[in-house]
Structure 1
Amino acid sequence: MSAASVLAVCVVHQLRPDAGPVGTTAIDKRPVSGRVRVGAYGVYADVQADRKNHGGLDQAVYAYSQEDAEYWADELGRELPSGWFGENLRVDGMNVNAAKVGERWQIGRSVIVEVTTSRHPCQTFARWVGGDDERGWVKRFAQAGRLGAYLRVISTGRIEAGDEITVLERPADAPTILEVYRAR
C-alpha cells in the first residue's frame, strides 16, 4: 500500500455570480504550484464567499480524495480536475470519509490538521455541478457517502503537491465523519 499524499493544493480561482442568497460563490478552486502557506483559517489566498456556512477555524481546509473524484467522474461522464469539488486538498491513498472526528494528520514537514466534520452539500454546490442538468445532486452526493473532510489547522506551515500525509492520531472511540453526517 502506498503512502497517502497531496495531489494538489487548491485556492479560489475567481469569485463567481451565484443565484443563492449571498449572490456570489468561491467554489471555483484551482491548483496552485509551489509551497503554499497554511494558517489557522486555511490555505493562503483562499476565500469563502458565504462565511456563515463555510470557513472558520473548524472548516479551515477541505480535503477530497482522488478515488471519490474518479467515482464522480465516471458517474457524471466528465473530467473533474483538482479543485472542482471546492476542495483545498485533493489527496490520494486515503479514505477521507472514514476519518474519525479528532483524527490528526501531518501534511509535509510542518502542517498538522485535525478532522472536524464532513461536507454538507448545499444548493450552491448543486448549481456549480450543473443545476437543472443534475437534478437531485445534493441528495445523490450525500447518499453516495463521498463527502470529503473539513479540517482544523493545529500547526501552521507550508505544503505543496507531493507532500506525504501521515495519520498521527486516530481516536479509537470517535465516530467517522460519515457516521456523524448520517446520524444527523
Structure 2
Amino acid sequence: MKIISINIAKPTTIIWKGKEVSTGIFKEPIDKPVYLGSEKVRDDEVSDRENHGGIYQACYIYSSDHYAYWKNKYPNLHWTWGMFGENLTVTGLDERDICVGDVYRVGEALV
C-alpha cells in the first residue's frame, strides 16, 4: 500500500433534506504532511461527530484502485483525489485482505 494523496476539508455549508448543514466531505489534496491524531486528522473538518471522527473513525482511507470504476459511471464529474471524502488516497489496497483489528503503519502513525 502506498499513499498517493493526503486530503483535508474546510467546513462547507450545504442544503441537505431542506436544512442547512455543515459538512467536511468535500476533501481537497494538500501538498504537506498532516498529523494523524487518535480522534481526527489535524486541520480536517469533521462536522458530524456522531458518525465520523473519534477513536475508531479518525482517518478515512480509500483505494485509488476504485476510482476507474466510478469515473466510468460518472465521466462528467471533476475527478480529484479525496472526492470520496477520504483523508488518505492509497494505491495497492485490496479490502478483501483487511480484517477488523488489523494495524498498519502510516509514517509514524499506527492505524
Q: Deviations over 1:103-160 (max 9, x none)?
A: 111112x1110xxxxxxxxxxxxxxxxxxxxxxxxxxxxxxxxxxxxxxxxxxxxxxx
Instruction: Determine whether 1:7 maps to 2:30.
Output: no
Counterpart in 1 of 2:35?
Answer: 37
Give the number of the structure whose residues are more often helix, by fraction: 1
Change (3 A) 1:22 1:62: farther
Conserved 8 A contact 1:64-1:96: no
Q: Deviations over 1:13-42 (max 9, x none)?
A: 442323146722111111111221111112
Conserved 8 A contact 2:14-2:20: no
Kindly state the Cα deviation for residue 92 of structure 1 after the two structures are TM-superposed. 0.3
Kindly state the Cα deviation for residue 85 of structure 1 after the two structures are TM-superposed. 0.4
Conserved 8 A contact 1:29-1:88: yes
Give the number of the structure whose residues are more often strand, by fraction: 1
> What secondary structure, in the 3-state scheme, does the structure 1 residue paired with 2:56 have?
helix
Counterpart in 2 of 1:56?
Answer: 54
Alignment of 1:131-170 (within 5 A): none
Instruction: Determine whether 1:18 maps to 2:15.
Output: yes
Question: Over aligned residues, Cα RMSD in angstroms?
Answer: 1.8
Identity %: 30
Question: Which aligned segments of 4 or more residues in structure 1 are displaced greater than 4 angstroms?
Answer: none
AA partner of residue 69 (structure 1): Y
Conserved 8 A contact 2:10-2:45: no
Give the number of equivalent residue pairs. Answer: 109
Q: Supply the distance in 2 between the matched residues of 1:22 and 1:61 (Cα, whole angstroms).
A: 25
Listed as ranges, the gaps of 5+ residues in structure 2 are: none
Instruction: Determine whether 1:92 maps to 2:100.
Output: no
With the length of structure 1 as denominator, give the TM-score of the two structures. Answer: 0.54
Alignment of 1:122-133 (within 5 A): none
> What secondary structure, in the 3-state scheme, does the structure 2 residue paired with 1:70 have?
helix
Q: Supply the distance in 2 between the matched residues of 1:5 and 1:22 (Cα, whole angstroms).
A: 37
AA partner of residue 39 (structure 1): G
Kindly state the Cα deviation for residue 53 of structure 1 after the two structures are TM-superposed. 1.4
> What secondary structure, in the 3-state scheme, does the structure 2 residue paired with 1:74 have?
helix
Counterpart in 2 of 1:46?
Answer: 44
Q: Supply the distance in 2 between the matched residues of 1:80 and 1:52 (Cα, whole angstroms).
A: 28
Counterpart in 2 of 1:127?
Answer: none
Kindly state the Cα deviation for residue 96 of structure 1 after the two structures are TM-superposed. 3.2
AA partner of residue 85 (structure 1): F
Q: Supply the distance in 1 between the matched residues of 2:7 and 2:95 (Cα, whole angstroms).
A: 17
